[in-house]
Amino acid sequence: MSVFTYVTASEEDRILVFEMDPQTGRLEQRDAVDVQGRPAPLAVDPERRFLHVGRRDVPAISSFAIDPGTGGLSPVGTAPLDADPCYLATDRTGRFLLSAYYSAGKAGVHAIGEDGAVGSPPIEWIDTAPGAHSMQTDRSNSFAFLPHIGGRTGPNLILQFRFDGNSGRLTPNSLPRVSPPVDGEGPRHFCFHPTRDILYFSNEQGCSVTGYNLDSSAGTLSVFQTVSTLPDGYDGTNSCAQIQITPSGKFLYAPNRGHDSIACFSVDASTGHLTSIGRVPTEPVPRAISIDPSGRFLFAAGLESGRLASYRIDDGTGELDPLEIYHVGKGPMWVLFVSFPG
């Protein structure tokens, strides 16, 4: 198996390409691709043929074909935008690219051509609210969710849409929004449990993770648990960013920006409830984390340090064992893994 890791060094206008040893987790840099305009969010289609990157200072979305042998990237097209994207994800078929726009308060859907290029203009360009931070479709590809952070810049809610997998159109669900149980929690990013109808949201302002049950018929969410990412007694500044769950569904991780740690949780196999298994120190301002496709290694990028820290995930306990640290350049904003059999 070949495993490649892509890291956006946003302040250096490039995407770094690494190859990962699937046995040891060690990275070797293979390439660096110039992408002007502060590249940040990354997304890959389900068939792992194309990589898409949001350029926040241009603004635009650029698409690249992935060489499965080397991990190399070849440009196939760029779609100009009217706002800067903070998050990208393909739908479950890879035919459409969904995007969220934090400052502009918008959501977009673009068609993806057979050549992998994102089409322009977008199929959907919807006004939502300031603080829109991510968007994904569920496993059925019938519903989409769009969280907005809280506080001065956002309304503290999750929008619920019906998604048409044939046309790429979004329509508000019968229950168009759901609010976190605590005012100001600030849902930011989310991940799906690999086998259960459960979503986990990282709460930027609340410094917590909230679990939601998904009604797979109605496409609506209901809260069942909120747990803190911080240790008892901590009173410093902090916010949460990304969130990841292992492919096995046994462990979940969320970074603390301020406390500069990775909060670790075990996941109950029958209920999906989370139990804290502690925190591991990491690089300053860990905005981006990612787990490799095997679920054996976790990587965390320090936005302030320009370093990428690697950890081995204990399969029995979920604890993180520190491995190596890599210099990746100024402003690492995203870490994404792509694997190919071989």
At 151, is the secondary structure helix, strand, or coil?
helix
What sign results for the dihedral spanned by CA atoms 51, 55, 59, 64?
Answer: negative
Rg (CA), the chain: 18
Q: What is the pLDDT of residue 182?
A: 87
Q: Where are the beta strands (DSSP E) in 153-197?
A: 157-163, 170-178, 187-192
Residues 6+ apart with CB under 8 A from 95: 111, 112, 165, 168
- Residue 291 to residues 46, 87, 248, Cα–Cα distance (Å): 16, 18, 12
> Pick from 34, 70, 78: which is nearest to 54 by CA?
78
Domains observed in the chain = 35-148+151-180 (2.130.10.10)
Residues 6+ apart with CB under 8 A from 18: 4, 5, 6, 7, 27, 28, 29, 30, 71, 326
CA angle centred on 228, ends 224 and 234, rounded to 5°: 160
Cα separation, 135 vs 97, in Å, equals: 10
φ/ψ of 217, rounded to 5, equals -85, -40
Q: What is the pLDDT of residue 183?
A: 87
Q: From the CB of residue 342, how many other CB atoms can be counted at a distance below 10 Å? A: 7
At 111, is the secondary structure helix, strand, or coil?
strand
Cα separation, 78 vs 147, in Å, equals: 26
Residues 6+ apart with CB under 8 A from 270: none
Using an 8 Å Cβ cutoff, are 33 and 42 in contact?
no
List per-residue pLDDT tens for the chain, 342 residues long: 899 999 999 999 999 999 999 999 999 999 999 999 999 999 999 999 999 999 999 999 999 999 999 999 999 999 999 999 999 999 999 999 999 999 999 999 999 999 999 999 999 999 999 999 999 999 999 999 999 999 778 899 999 999 999 999 999 999 999 999 888 999 999 999 999 999 999 999 999 999 999 999 999 999 999 999 999 999 999 999 999 999 999 999 999 999 999 999 999 999 999 999 999 999 999 999 999 999 999 999 999 999 999 999 999 999 999 999 999 999 999 999 999 997
Using an 8 Å Cβ cutoff, are 123 and 109 in contact?
yes
What sign results for the dihedral spanned by CA atoms 313, 319, 322, 327?
Answer: positive
> Pick from 4, 18, 116: which is nearest to 64 by CA?
116
DSSP secondary structure letters along 308-341: EEEEEEPTTT--EEEEEEEE--S-EEEEEEEEE-
What is the enclosing helix (H) or strand (E) of 225? strand 220-228
Q: What is the pLDDT of residue 143?
A: 98
Q: How many residues can be counted in the chain? A: 342
The pair of structure tokens assigned to 86 is 């903070």
